[in-house]
Structure 1
Amino acid sequence: MRILYSTFFTGFWLLNGLLVGVATAQVPKSLDSVMVYLKTHTSQDTNYVIALNVMGRELHEKGNPDYNRADSVLRVSEKVALKLNYGLGLSRAYTNLASIYYLTDKPQQAVEYFQKALTTAENFKLSPRFICGAISNVAAALSKLQQYDKVVAMQLRSLRLQERYNVQPRIATTYGGLGNAYRELNKPKEALVYYEQALALMRTEKNTRGMAIIENNMGICYDGLKRYDKSLASYRMALKHAEEVDYELLQADILVNIGLALKLSSRFKEGIPYVERSLAIGRKQQNKGTMATAYFNLGQIYEELKDYKPAEENLKKALELARERANKEQIANYTQGLADLYGGMKNFQQAYAYQLEKNKQIDSTMVVRTSAEVQRLVAQYKTEKKEQEIKLLRQQAQLREKELINKRLQTNALLLGGALLLLLGLAISAWLLNRSRLRRLEEAQALRKQIAHDLHDEVGSTLSSISLLSGMVNNLIAQKRPESVERAILKINTDARQILEAMDEIIWTINPSNDSLHRIALRLQEYAQPLMESKHIQFSMVADPTLDQLPISMEIRRNLYLIGKEAITNLVKYSEATQATMWFDHQKGQLTVVIEDNGRGFDRTQPSERTGQTSMQQRAKAMGGSLDVQSAPEQGTRLVLTTTIAG
């Protein structure tokens, strides 16, 4: 799983080509000397801008970064460069500001400022090498947004410009950026080709820091190819280079990757000291992201060793730090890690709790996954249930088929014994009868499928929840935890009540005695009245007296009821109305159902918090009718359903 690796350094080194060096030897390059220079250099000229850029870069890149101070210095540099119309200084100021956003996990702002640096460089016609490097920086920020196809396009654009203007030597960061993109696109072999070219250029430039990051990324590729001997060699070389330039956060990243490569090689105990060294650096730097990554990976290694206590402690610390940073991706991953850990420990109650928390971070329609064991049981239950349903359907189909064959044989016997004139009549009658029976058989099959679908949707998931909770109750009783038992039983009662309500609706839908529009109107009134009263909405129902003599099919009745129910639910939840009306009208074979309120309404052209409109439109279309929703802000809402009903 790639989530085990820190991705902090996969693209940042791309900035180096633009951030190192200055345009004149008059400006010092170290932080201390440049601060002295700025105090004595009072004239706000181009050298002043260059010095500010050097100071801003040093403040956010070296040792313990001071991002706020760096930002303030670079804002001054931007302002003075604009005043002087100094393109190179302005572009470098934008580049440094972008790198701060990059390092503080604000990739969208990083893209914006890298693009400003590129546009400035193009407008001021700076050197082709500078422009090509600026393109690569935009690609680096896009990589953080996981837009890897765009990254490849931008880096190839940079390479084409380098070839057109014969930029020498080629920019190593462009090749490294392509390597990163192909690696993220799960093409490690293609990535390694570009990493090798980037590494060769870095060696020529004697860029030790860049070499460290390249070697680290190559190690990740070799891990993806399961060549752990190669990955460990790359990581150790990367660590050597990172130590040479005293780049501690990069060292922390590499140390975690070494620990993971050893874990993937089943050398679990060997990996622990490396990850602990990474954690120590994170604490020293007070970098919560680095610490969270280290805690999580330590927890996973201890889990592999079946040493569950330190595994639990480290995973919980990782989750706590992720919550402090409000990192949704890490929160989801670390919560899942704890759910899996408790599943392996057979502590299904805790596994269930963390799995529910994880599911809040992802799409609510996904099935709850508690642990490997619970998954197996749920899957087995569903498989057995489906097999029973299939077996029952087959038996019913065979009985129907035998019945149909017997009836056909009887009809044929009568036809053979009749006169020629009667033969023709009986043949016609048999054909019509057979078609009618087939239609009834098809309708019966469709009804069974619909009932099975409704039971699965309305009841199946709730039964699964009751099954899991019931299994937990025994453990809770054994643990003498009456409050937890009471909550679990309350949940089971609630779920059971929901099942009864769902079953009641399904039974009402298929009951032939309800095959009239009048019964639907009464049912909707019974559903709406208590909901309206709970919101103090004055509700009235107007129905055409002839509705009681209008029979309709089960399918139309079902869709009509569900449309009305959804409309009433939305009205009660969102309209803030004081009055609401529903009326049924039947004129010349056309049924019109109107539901309207005097509430706040909504703008049809804007996204609405009201739900189910697409579903209602589909159901209206299935009935052969149409649904028109009329609404405007502060002017209420009116739903008009029309369909053809034979009178």
Structure 2
Amino acid sequence: MKLLSCLRLTALYLALVTSDIVNAQIPKSLDSLETYVQTHQPTDTNYVNALLRMGNLTTRTRANYDRADSLLRVAEKVAIKLNFSRGIYQANTFLGANYYLSGRPQQTLDYLQKALAIAEANKLSPRIRANAMTNLGTAYRNLNQPEKALEIYLRSLRMQDQYAIQPRNEDTYIGVGLALKDTRRPREAIAYFQQALVLNRKLNAPYGMAITEQNIGRCYDDLEQETNALAYYRTALKHAKEAESALLQADILVNTGLALRKVKRFEEAKRAIEQALAMSSQQGNKGAMATDYFNLGQLHEDLKDYKRAEVNMKKALALANELDDKNKIAIYTQGLADLYGGMKNFQQAYAYQLEKNKQIDSTTVVRTSAEVQRLVAQYKTEKKEQEIKLLRQQAQLREKELINKRLQTNALLLGGALLLLLGLAISAWLLNRSRLRRLEEAQALRKQIAHDLHDEVGSTLSSISLLSGMVNSLIAQKRPEAVERAIQKINTDARQILEAMDEIIWTINPGNDSLQRIAMRLQEYAQPLMESKAISFTFQTDPALADIPVSMEVRRNLYLIGKEAINNLVKYSEATQATVRVTRLTDQLEMLIEDNGRGFDVTKPRERTGQSSMQQRAEAVGGSLDVQSAPGQGTRLQLVVNP
């Protein structure tokens, strides 16, 4: 039983905003900070800032959580004595980060809620309050509440928009990406991680780059694209080493080992996880050690080295029992049952399977009991609310009856009957009209799908049919070069059909009726093309796009215009830099595509740019398309439409 996804949950990924203390008088290394604290008196804010930095570094670089906790609590006491509100806020933020990394999610939530309350009560800067919201979102995600986390992350983004905070908080984008990944939307998550990566690169922050690159790798891992995942893990590991974070290096090595195991590169996977285990052991992180031992055990099982597999899995189970981690105990017990089953030692397999079932039953009973109590309490509350509502309604009805009793006449009854008949007639007319409109829309959709299939697929299938018929003849004529060309053409045509079908299906899917979905699909289309031409590419989207619905026709034409423009840019511009921005202008949408390429003379007709086709599509949805370019000065394409 290979529960890689369950095992991966044991490695936490820090998305907390732990902004460093900016003060030239305070040292940056731990040793220098130790000397500073010992030689200064706790009488000013510099002393508080030194303790804060010291506690934060102790958490992030040495994973000494108890020592960090002591330092941060002293910093909070001194900050309270000095009435240093920002110091109090940062002490609680760093305490939350410390509990986050030491695996105590409820304490993490408590301290980060307190930090946000302090920031709001003391009216700290909008940037600090937005950061505090991002931190709180991470705490909810750590408690397996991704929807609540996503709601708070988006609140933070809206505040950053409201106050035009620059640069944007890269950890907010990381948080949105993690929440989307937790809800099994890895492709959407990658778009937010890419934005976070751009911000971290601008800040030259190796720690942030390592976290972001690792999470992009995890998304590709979820998509079963292990080559891409491993490439991002390699880059992430390099940046984690630059940041001197042993904890982060160990996390990345574990993920690298799991990805290598999926592609059956077992020896490389074993070396990666052994390195992670060495780091976890050096830090004394028993939870991480348990995960590493179990992963090593599964790797040895894959290599048919059952003795080492047994030893490592038993070490993992012993650590899980020591930590009283019921989730890990259940997973590791099941792993040992599977191992003994593979070894034909059915007595031991049966014993561990029974133990695993007992663990599952125990945790299920606790969870079910809590859920029942919650539902009963909710039911009682709702029942009382319904009773109160019913009593109010009855009182209102009695009052109305007393007022209206004298006014009820046959004329009013007749008028009511006439109004009822009129209402029924109008309702029937509106219903028929609505049905007719839906039929017309369905007919138009059918015609559009038929037209697209004929244009995009019909001619290509005919080409494949003709080429397939030629292959046997060419083989009989012993013309291998011609056979190879024909097969290559068939492969190319088949890929085009798949792409065309994917676009048609995407276009008619009502789940894609938002501008945010269009922007994400364009980014997914553009990114690999830009990378293939070594073009430095930036894709920026307005978070407000998620609230704007669009029709199928507008969505399709927007996507095709953007796709055509990006194709032209990649093929003909010879650019080194390119930018795509999709923003909301009051009640309009603007898509801007710019490059620093060779440009062209817009007054001269060009056959291959498809400019006339893009112009027609823009006019078809009531929009405007403006193309500005000149030889040697790049190209700027601006599309404005009413969504």
What is the TM-score normalised by the length of structure 1? 0.54
1:351 Cα deviation from its structure 2 partner = 1.2
CA contact (8 A) 1:256 1:278 kept: yes
Structure whose CA Rg is larger: 1
What is the rounded CA distance, in whole Å, between the counterparts of 1:243 and 1:35 in structure 2? 23
1:43 Cα deviation from its structure 2 partner = 5.2
What is the rounded CA distance, in whole Å, between the counterparts of 2:223 and 2:53 in structure 1? 41
> In the alignment, what sits opposite 1:538?
none
1:301 Cα deviation from its structure 2 partner = 1.6
Matched, 1:5 2:4: no
CA contact (8 A) 1:118 1:134 kept: yes
> In the alignment, what sits opposite 1:222?
220
1:158 Cα deviation from its structure 2 partner = 0.4
Summarize the alignment of residues 112-511 of structure 1 with structure 2, pairs less than 5 Å apart. 112-363=110-361
1:224 Cα deviation from its structure 2 partner = 0.8
What is the rounded CA distance, in whole Å, between the counterparts of 2:29 and 2:302 in structure 1? 46
What is the rounded CA distance, in whole Å, between the counterparts of 1:366 and 1:90 in structure 2? 40
1:307 Cα deviation from its structure 2 partner = 2.4
CA contact (8 A) 1:179 1:192 kept: yes
> In the alignment, what sits opposite 1:15?
17
1:333 Cα deviation from its structure 2 partner = 0.7
Alignment RMSD (CA, Å): 1.9
What is the rounded CA distance, in whole Å, between the counterparts of 2:318 and 2:106 in structure 1? 26
What is the rounded CA distance, in whole Å, between the counterparts of 1:209 and 1:349 in structure 2? 48
Summarize the alignment of residues 22-101 of structure 1 with structure 2, pairs less than 5 Å apart. 22=22, 24-42=23-41, 44-63=43-62, 65-101=63-99
Q: Could you tell me which amino acid in structure 2 is paired with residue 248 of structure 1?
A: A
Paired residues in the alignment total: 362
Q: Could you tell me which amino acid in structure 2 is paired with residue 48 of structure 1?
A: Y
Q: Secondary structure at the residue paired with 2:43?
A: coil
Q: Could you tell me which amino acid in structure 1 is paired with residue 7 of structure 2?
A: L
Q: Could you tell me which amino acid in structure 2 is paired with residue 60 of structure 1?
A: T
1:107 Cα deviation from its structure 2 partner = 0.9
1:285 Cα deviation from its structure 2 partner = 2.0
Runs of 5+ consecutive residues of structure 2 not aligned to the other structure: 366-643
1:242 Cα deviation from its structure 2 partner = 1.2
CA contact (8 A) 1:295 1:315 kept: yes
Per-residue CA distance 1:188-235 (angstroms, 9 max, x = gap): 111111111111111111110111111111111111101011011011
Q: Secondary structure at the residue paired with 1:363?
A: helix
What is the rounded CA distance, in whole Å, between the counterparts of 2:57 and 2:266 in structure 1? 38
What is the TM-score normalised by the length of structure 2? 0.54
What is the rounded CA distance, in whole Å, between the counterparts of 1:321 and 1:83 in structure 2? 42
What is the rounded CA distance, in whole Å, between the counterparts of 2:95 and 2:255 in structure 1? 29
CA contact (8 A) 2:42 2:48 kept: no
> In the alignment, what sits opposite 2:370?
none
Q: Could you tell me which amino acid in structure 1 is paired with residue 270 of structure 2?
A: I
Q: Could you tell me which amino acid in structure 2 is paired with residue 51 of structure 1?
A: A
What is the rounded CA distance, in whole Å, between the counterparts of 2:132 and 2:290 in structure 1? 32
Q: Secondary structure at the residue paired with 2:87?
A: helix
Question: Alpha carbons of 1:43 and 1:348: their partners in 2 closer, same or farther (altered >3 Å)?
Answer: closer
Q: Could you tell me which amino acid in structure 2 is paired with residue 320 of structure 1?
A: A
What is the rounded CA distance, in whole Å, between the counterparts of 2:163 and 2:294 in structure 1? 47
Question: Alpha carbons of 1:95 and 1:307: their partners in 2 closer, same or farther (altered >3 Å)?
Answer: same
1:156 Cα deviation from its structure 2 partner = 0.5
Q: Secondary structure at the residue paired with 1:26?
A: coil
1:113 Cα deviation from its structure 2 partner = 0.6
Per-residue CA distance 1:292-312 (angstroms, 9 max, x = gap): 111111111222233222211
> In the alignment, what sits opposite 2:489?
none
What is the rounded CA distance, in whole Å, between the counterparts of 1:76 and 1:253 in structure 2? 30
What is the rounded CA distance, in whole Å, between the counterparts of 1:40 and 1:30 in structure 2? 16
Q: Could you tell me which amino acid in structure 1 is paired with residue 6 of structure 2?
A: I
Q: Secondary structure at the residue paired with 1:158?
A: helix
What is the rounded CA distance, in whole Å, between the counterparts of 1:99 and 1:343 in structure 2? 42
Q: Could you tell me which amino acid in structure 1 is paired with residue 224 of structure 2?
A: K
What is the rounded CA distance, in whole Å, between the counterparts of 2:98 and 2:173 in structure 1? 23
1:7 Cα deviation from its structure 2 partner = 4.4
1:365 Cα deviation from its structure 2 partner = 11
What is the rounded CA distance, in whole Å, between the counterparts of 1:60 and 1:223 in structure 2? 28
1:187 Cα deviation from its structure 2 partner = 1.2
